[in-house]
């Protein structure tokens, strides 16, 4: 890195040393964990609120309207107002529902999305845990969310919810394969599962440019599969409000519904960050070969801005096709995965392996 001022590693070490000199190592670790936890909770809430607002504005512009514009300037406080409303709403108890599972489901969903956030590198040094199996961890944790959806559908004692949950189960189990395989394609290139290494190795050139066609195909497949994983349109069969009223969260109200709502946006943020990290180089600035001047200018932009910018572009892409495409049917959804995406993906891995073996990349 040309500008070491953006490197927060030394700052982290300084904080660590400071804490360790004041208290015992155990308490220092606990304090650090608490600090990181609070920071992440805040980040989670802010990103959730911002994404809800962004989606409303973007879908407003796509649909020839202006979106929220009453509460605060440009309606920026609209989501806050809505969340206060949701917090104060009555939690309707459901007759003959499985109370324990019914209450547990929103937490599982929200915990799954929060845990995955821990392994994302936001910038150099801003990285909660740098696993050597980071990608594996993210995939494992983020697929836990489907348990929450299944439980929500099952425990609601509502047939619509159950249909939605079963659809979602079939959908996520299928598309998990594509997500895994397309990321695997990228990992062949990097030769590592550690997210910090993956980002560092894209310092000269992002994967999407480096890996030629196979990387691009992997990116496309990842985008499709990741959208399906987050249950967003055109793959929002689990909710499918025109068929199943609201799918798995039909019976939820108030803050429990808000949890589902927030988790949906956080999942979107997560898959967008993973796409940005793996395919677009995470917080790495855009570097072009030997254009030293250009590279210097790019280095001047802080890595966190790069990371958030890339994530925002991918989120915008996902919102764009949510608001323009109609919804698929369940059999078409499964056909798309098992008959098209999966074979293409497997072939793509082979091609990628060949590219790496022969050294046909930049």
Site residues (vs other proteins, CB under 8 A): 59, 62-65, 159-160, 163, 167, 233-234, 236-237, 240-243, 245, 323-332
End-to-end CA distance of the chain: 20
- Least distance in angstroms from the C-beta of 240 to other proteins: 7
Q: 161 vs 201, which CB is nearer to other proteins? A: 161
For residue 9, how far is the Cα from the chain centroid? 24
Please choose, from the candidates 31, 30, 272, the residue with its C-alpha nearest in 3D space to the C-alpha of residue 142.
272
- Least distance in angstroms from the C-beta of 227 to other proteins: 13
Q: 85 vs 329, which CB is nearer to other proteins? A: 329
- Least distance in angstroms from the C-beta of 13 to other proteins: 50
β-partners of residue 123 are 126
Q: How much is the CA Rg of the chain, to the nearest whole Å? A: 21
Task: Pull the structure tokens for residue 234.
Answer: 């055109």
- Least distance in angstroms from the C-beta of 338 to other proteins: 16
Q: 167 vs 287, which CB is nearer to other proteins? A: 167
Cα–Cα distance measured from residue 359 to residue 362, given in angstroms and rounded to the nearest whole number = 8
- Least distance in angstroms from the C-beta of 173 to other proteins: 16
In three-state secondary structure terms, 152 is helix
Q: Rounded to whole angstroms, what are the CA distances from 304 to 193, 273, 300, 316?
A: 21, 12, 12, 18
- Least distance in angstroms from the C-beta of 230 to other proteins: 15
Q: 114 vs 333, which CB is nearer to other proteins? A: 333
Q: 29 vs 253, which CB is nearer to other proteins? A: 253
Q: What's the half-sphere exposure (Cβ side, CA atoms, 13 Å) at 359?
A: 0
Q: 17 vs 159, which CB is nearer to other proteins? A: 159
Phi-psi map region of 286: left, alpha, beta (phi>0 left; psi -120 to 50 alpha): beta
């Amino acid at each position: 890195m040309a500008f070491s001022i953006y490197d927060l590693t030394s700052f982290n070490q300084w904080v660590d040393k400071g804490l360790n000199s004041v208290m015992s190592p155990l308490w220092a670790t606990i304090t650090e964990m608490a600090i990181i936890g609070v920071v992440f909770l805040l980040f989670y809430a802010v990103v959730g609120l911002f994404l809800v607002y962004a989606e409303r504005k973007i879908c407003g512009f796509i649909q020839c309207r202006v979106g929220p514009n009453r509460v605060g300037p440009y309606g920026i406080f609209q989501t806050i107002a809505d969340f206060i409303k949701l917090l104060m709403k009555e939690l309707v108890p459901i007759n003959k529902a499985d109370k324990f599972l019914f209450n547990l489901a929103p937490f599982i969903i929200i915990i799954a999305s929060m845990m995955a956030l821990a392994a994302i590198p936001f910038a150099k040094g801003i990285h909660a845990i740098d696993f050597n199996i980071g990608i594996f961890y993210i995939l494992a944790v983020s697929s836990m969310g489907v348990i929450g959806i299944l439980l929500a559908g099952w425990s609601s004692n509502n047939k619509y919810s159950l249909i939605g949950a079963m659809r979602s189960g079939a959908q996520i189990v299928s598309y998990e394969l594509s997500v895994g395989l397309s990321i695997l394609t990228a990992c062949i290139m990097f030769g590592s599962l550690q997210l910090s290494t993956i980002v560092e190795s894209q310092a000269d050139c992002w994967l999407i440019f480096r890996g030629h066609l196979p990387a691009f195909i992997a990116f496309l497949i990842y985008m499709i599969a990741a959208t399906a994983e987050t249950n967003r349109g055109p793959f929002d069969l689990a909710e499918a409000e025109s068929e199943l009223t609201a799918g798995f969260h039909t019976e939820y109200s108030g803050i429990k519904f808000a949890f589902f709502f927030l988790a949906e946006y956080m999942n979107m943020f997560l898959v967008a960050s993973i796409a940005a990290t793996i395919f677009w180089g995470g917080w790495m600035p855009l570097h072009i070969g030997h254009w030293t001047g250009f590279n210097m200018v790019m280095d001047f932009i802080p890595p966190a801005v790069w990371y958030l910018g890339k994530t925002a572009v991918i989120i915008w892409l996902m919102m764009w096709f949510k608001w323009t495409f109609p919804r698929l049917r369940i059999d078409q959804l499964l056909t798309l995965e098992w008959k098209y995406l999966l074979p293409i993906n497997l072939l793509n891995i082979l091609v990628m392996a060949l590219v790496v073996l022969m050294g046909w990349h930049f």
